[in-house]
Amino acid sequence: MTCNPWPEPRLYRYVPIFVALTLALTTPMAQAGLPETITAIKPSIVVVGTFSQLRSPAFLMRGTGFAFGDGSTIATNAHVIAQTLDATQQETLAVLIRQGNELHRRNAKVQVADPDHDLALLRISGPPLPALKIKPAASVREGQAVAFIGFPLGGALGFSPVTHRGIISSITPIALPAGNSAQLKEKPIRRLRSGSFSIYQLDATAYPGNSGGPLFDEDSGEVVGILNMVFVKGTKESALEKPSGISYAIPASFLLDLTSRASPSNGPTD
């Protein structure tokens, strides 16, 4: 009979269990599932539109937006913002915020717009909303699982946020479309002069009303992009009847650049 001069301490037997338990307890929120992420994100989502007491309906939706930064800043698309407001109708920019089963209207004002990247920042009145975090662009990869949330088809389905999921199928530069001179309109010419930039092509179906909504990481809820447009194979109506399943989003890193141009004092009057 031999005796092991270096018996294994019993504590060592529990080290793997201890390490596994520690990892489970210290794993960040980044490992939460999509249902938990959606629950956390919804309070930050708003309906962007215009309001006038002199018309029916008083509120007209134009797109989706979300809170980030200090919670009183709303990100959306520049094309979602009305170029002009009807003074004769006393029309104002506004957002709707869902709290429980009720919708609350807040006044809004454009802080700054970036038409070249189709982005805009609004300032809303009232208490700040839960702010979403922006994910660094360098960590966004093709094939990454993502989801986006917004109000497809406008108010036709009611103002309840709807979530779709997919992947980033390509990170591709925006380029001037080939064709004849009739396609050389002001917007693409302006983009050509300022240089192309990369955009996220999504293997997911978005609809009118999703514009301005956040594209986010399924697990962490960090925003990687802003829904911008849907590839349409025919007329605008065909996007509803026969969606292409191809959508695009602007990288969220451009939002961080835009905040440096925004003035915190440029907010709405309650």
- Rounded distance, CA 72 to CA 122, Å? 8
Whether 1 has a pLDDT exceeding 70, the answer reads no
| pLDDT confidence of residue 168 | 95
How far lies 83's CA from each of 49, 115, 117, 133, 196, in Å?
Answer: 12, 11, 16, 28, 24
pTM, two decimal places: 0.77
pLDDT tens-place string over residues 176-231: 444 444 445 555 556 555 557 888 999 888 887 899 999 999 999 999 999 987 64
pLDDT tens-place string over residues 30-71: 456 899 999 999 999 999 999 999 999 999 999 999 999 999
Six-digit token string for 8: 């294994």
Q: What are the chain's domains?
A: 43-131 (2.40.10.10), 137-258 (2.40.10.10)
**Which of 52-61, 73-82, 142-151, 241-250 is predicted least confidently?**
241-250
For the ranges 8-17, 20-29, 212-221, the one whose mean pLDDT is highest: 212-221
The answer to whether 213 and 226 are in contact (CB under 8 A) is yes
| pLDDT confidence of residue 31 | 52
